[in-house]
Chain A
């Protein structure tokens, strides 16, 4: 099956993702922000699907939308919302914020103009039937070391969380 209406879906999904991102920082109520973030994450999963990466899309939904955001929401529901709604939403660091945004923008433009050599000319199309297998072979073959480092970092974070939460172990 040839993909249909890819341009439409690309603009729809990226539009939703940007809209969600803007809503995350402009809503006063943290629950609404969390819901907007879920919208962004789900549309990103759609974009991954369009890039022929079904495994990444599935993992994105399970881990981020279905796992991490549930924990976010869980914590937010326990927080006293009335007090946080009265607090000021944006702190007064316009200058630093603008400078950071500008620097990031310049970086993006530099990568876009000068980085053409870094990126392949065409989208690398892994065959859809064996996409998951290809990802696994890359992760446990070529990028074994980076993968193990990442898992070690996560382990350190878990131990740190346990040490901070429990005074006596």
Chain B
């Protein structure tokens, strides 16, 4: 019974994640289009809503070209590594409190482990191998430069990202994502929610947000694939479905990062509950989805607004600004918590 429930949850979570990935691509094209005074996709289906399906079919039927000088085993493995680690991290992320279906009450999470946050960080940090190996096995200078940039960037910003989360961990005293969210329930003076961002962690939130942009290689930190100088960076030599796998990994990572930001800083699925019992069960999922949509919109908005960093600016921003700021935030948070106790 337990195994069956888990299996059903795994299938649902994967389908949800992949649909979200496909439609965040649609959302990105649509929003960036409107930012640039265009329409974005309109032809396939109403509002271009079937565009992701058309794109998927196109990727499947394109020629899968393998350049002759690549190192084949790793060239084929690299996109798989990227996409596997990007999809696995959903396993420990809760998307709501718990739900009763047909008399069985189950938490909306595949596995509730008490080191949930560590697992997400570990799995996402493994994702860099996909990019690094793609660049190396392609045997091309643009790919290699792109993947070197990617590894350096991801290792540098991972430190600021990890340190920005420790403040939240100190306040909630647990690695379990569910417990961290539970600690954020309730309100101050009846109207300000007790989210971590309102409990003095707003500096950490902005550090996390900026480091997360860099970790997912999004503009303004998309130097690993800077078109103007590196053709397409680490995936220059990839085509068809292999390229699409890198694409999927990037968007799945965006969603993971958005989930973590909502869970850790914005109170997860907490929100006003009303109406009949079934609605009260489903509303937390809607509130959580709304937060993730907000983050995805922010990603796309920034992509449509900001230019790319220069590489030395990227490094000095990460090491000389975000890193000390994260340490200062950590020290101050620890001091306040220690004085309160």
Contacts and interface: CB of A to CB of B under 8 A. Distances in A.
For the residues of B in contact with A, the DSSP-based class is helix
Contact of B125 (A1, A66, A74, A77): A66
Contacts of A73: 129, 132, 136, 151
Given A77-B136, A128-B114, A132-B175, A61 B122 contact: yes
Interface in B118-161: 118-119, 121-123, 125-126, 128-129, 132-133, 135-136, 144, 147-148, 151-152, 154-155, 158
A21 interface: no
Interface string A51-68: 000110111011001110
Residue from A1, A73, A133 whose CB has the most chain B CB atoms within 10 Å: A73
Contacts, number: 75
Interface of B: 2, 74, 113-115, 118-119, 121-123, 125-126, 128-129, 132-133, 135-136, 144, 147-148, 151-152, 154-155, 158, 162, 173, 175
A7 to B, nearest CB: 20
A58 B144 contact: no
A38 interface: yes
Nearest to A76: B136
A70 interface: yes
Given A31-B136, A54-B114, A70-B129, A78 B148 contact: yes
A67 B114 contact: no
User: Which A-B residue pairs are the 7 nearest by beta carbons?
Assistant: A66-B125, A58-B118, A61-B122, A54-B115, A62-B122, A58-B115, A74-B151
A62 B118 contact: yes
Contacts of B123: 61
Contacts of A67: 125, 155, 158
A55 B115 CA distance: 7
Given A58-B118, A77-B147, A129-B114, A71 B125 contact: no
Given A62-B162, A77-B136, 6 more contacts: A38-B129, A54-B115, A55-B175, A61-B125, A67-B155, A74-B148
